[in-house]
Amino acid sequence: MKDDSTNREHTYLRDMELSKKLRENYGYMCDVDSLMCDFNNRQPCGLLEYKHWMIQDPIKILKMPKTVVQKRLADRAGIPFAVCFYKPGVDGNPWQYNVLGMNKAAVKILGSAGAVQMSEQGFHKYHALCRHVSAAKGYPEVADWLHPQLVNYKGGGDE
């Protein structure tokens, strides 16, 4: 029988570790190429660009034309846009995230224009705030990693 579900990996051009984690934990609501759209009741609620923690020169990535275009799309839609540098958990350690608001709506939710260190619980809460829903509890709360090139970098949507 053919699997036509939205949970099936189609292109294999993704970070498979992240894609598998999101599909197993959050189901059909997550489909990651590199840009994810949060939505609720078929309405867009936020854009999030995922970047692996080993990426070279993250500041250059943040200033690329595609990031500027994504910010402009989010601004026109009136939704937050952030870039997330994620560090997969290893040996039972939880995943961790550095989230940088790229427009005013994201900075408002994050409470900072700088990179915000997030645990899985904090990251889930960010998505819940974007979607205007209550956050579930029970995710790991370790948030002690910050990408060294993001120290003192401010996003906030300035081009």
Question: In the structure encoding, which two tokens stand for residue 77, read together?
Answer: 């839609």
- Tell which residue, 127, 110, 119, has the closest CA to residue 143: 119
Contact, 142 vs 96, CB < 8 A? yes
Q: CA-CA distances (angstroms) from residue 127 to 10, 81, 99, 112, 131?
A: 24, 11, 11, 16, 6
Query: What is the model's pLDDT at position 20?
Result: 72
Question: In the structure encoding, which two tokens stand for residue 134, read together?
Answer: 């209550």
Contact, 32 vs 58, CB < 8 A? no
For residue 86, the cross-strand partners are 52, 97
Q: Which residue in this structure is represented by tokens 């190429």?
A: 33
Q: Where are the domains of the chain?
A: 34-150
Question: In the structure encoding, which two tokens stand for residue 37, read together?
Answer: 């759209």
Quick: pLDDT tens for 57-102. 888 888 888 888 889 999 999 999 999 999 988 888 899 999 999 9
Query: What is the model's pLDDT at position 100?
Result: 95
DSSP state of 7: T
Which residues of the chain fall below pLDDT 50?
A: 1-13, 28-33
Query: What is the model's pLDDT at position 96?
Result: 92
